[in-house]
Amino acid sequence: MDIKLSTKEKIGFSLGDMAGNFVYQSVVLLLAFYYTDVYGLDAATVTAIFLFVRIFDAVTDPLMGAWVDRNNSRWGKYRPFLLFLCIPYAVASVLVFTVPDLGMEGKTIYAYVTYAVLMILFTATNIPYFALGSVMTADPKERISLNSYRFVAATGGGLIITACVLPLADILGDGDKALGYQQAMMVMAVLSVILFIICFSSTTERVKPVNTGPSDFKSDIKQVFKNDQWRLLGLAVLVLVSAQTIKATSGIYYLTYYADNAATMVSLFLSLWMIGGMFGSAFANRLTKVMCKKRAWVLLCMISAVLSFGTYFIYPSQIVVILITQFFVGFFNQMMAPLIFSTMAEVTDYGELKNKRRLDGLISSFTLFSLKVGLAIGGASATYLLSVYGYQSGGVEQSQETVSGILTIFTLIPAVGFVITAVIIHQMKLDGKTVEENALLLQDLRAEA
């Protein structure tokens, strides 16, 4: 429990999430708009793709989690996956943002296949990465600090996407949007490979599990679902990510069609979200010194709900107010991210203490499963609601009913999701005192092993 991580190792670890977010944030923030307004698919088809691929991918998570928990190599359990899969992951990201020379049916099939491959590789790199953070140190405070570094870098990766991809696409495409997106993602793909390799080479797996319980796959799955604190965490992540994804997916539509004369400010709008998120991630560690993590998470959910609800009443002409609000939405929303993933490690500790078996990979995989289902529900809900409100693909002018619908999707619906998340987190019993006690008990058990 007394392992203190160096700043160098924290930064090295954090670069892995920056690499992952080059793809993740591209999918969350840009892919729906790219599919409808560049690739040429209608909103209903995009909805079907998001639902099918993301749910199919989520189902594979437990298999991946079980695999990494059983993996043993001279590089450790989790780090080898970052090294050997970073290049396929990067290549898949470029293929998703490539428009093939096919008819509409062929393009649709291509979108299904390439997006599915990308999300499977996202699983194969991110589950080991999530688990890696839990075994670098057993100190609860160090875990919060580690995840603060991580999410500063993660939102930094998102900022690079929002600030650079669209301008790069314009420059590299020279008027051809499809070519521009492809070339811009090639640049991001190369950067992601470099950052994954740095993450692999600068981190160390230290926490040795108390694995005296049964080790078969079926027993491990049962253990995860018997963990009442994981059930609450998984539900909270699902609802929160659904709300965040609805807001993120609809954001580009909100600025393009609701705000007055703001279509050229999309990069700035999305970048302010990320800049706010970077500051929020950095301040998360300070917040947990003032109050316990559980109370902090509930408070941040409620603040995010108020900000999202309040955005509904901002006039289209108030572009400065829109941009300032966007910054603070990112600030308070992203401050939750380090809390989520340090809580995941503590949920794993809780399960290990109860069952004498540590399942970092499976807990990570089921948490990622919840995240992906939330991503699927949020992305599909946003595009489905756009079609319900009559959204027309191709960058054409939208009706007033559609614009009003976009406003509702971007503001009121996410606000409800944030409130529900706060209610779920309030039910958890892993407050600051309990977390410290569990960490000390596990330290004693490891000393006896």
pLDDT in tens, 51-77: 888 778 777 878 787 787 777 778 888
Per-residue confidence (pLDDT) for residue 226, from 0 to 100: 87
CA-to-CA separations, 427 to 238, 254, 259, 294, 438, in angstroms, rounded: 16, 34, 39, 9, 18
User: What's the pLDDT tens digit per position in 206-216?
Assistant: 877 665 455 67
Per-residue confidence (pLDDT) for residue 193, from 0 to 100: 95
Domains along the chain? 7-202+216-448 (1.20.1250.20)
Residue 324 has pLDDT above 90, yes or no: yes
User: What's the pLDDT tens digit per position in 112-131?
Assistant: 999 999 988 988 898 889 88
Under 8 Å between Cβ of 336 and 300: yes
Per-residue confidence (pLDDT) for residue 8, from 0 to 100: 93
Provide the 10 A C-beta neighbour count for residue 229: 20
Under 8 Å between Cβ of 185 and 319: no
Kindly state the tokens that stand for 405.
């619908």
- In one-letter notation, the amino acid at residue 61 is D
Q: Secondary structure of the chain: what % helix, strand, coil (to 5)?
A: 80, 0, 20
Q: How far is 258 from 263, CA to CA, in rounded Å?
A: 9
Residue 295 has pLDDT above 80, yes or no: yes
pTM of the model: 0.72
Per-residue confidence (pLDDT) for residue 449, from 0 to 100: 57
Per-residue confidence (pLDDT) for residue 1, from 0 to 100: 47
Q: How confident is the model at residue 110 (pLDDT cuts 50, 70, 90)?
A: very high
User: What's the pLDDT tens digit per position in 137-161?
Assistant: 888 778 888 888 888 888 788 788 8
Coil, helix or strand for 312? coil
User: What's the pLDDT tens digit per position in 175-199?
Assistant: 888 899 999 999 999 999 999 999 9
**What is the overall mean pLDDT for the chain?**
86
Average pLDDT, stretch 344-367?
A: 82
Report the first-to-last Cα separation within the chain, whole angstroms.
15
Kindly state the tokens that stand for 410.
């971007």
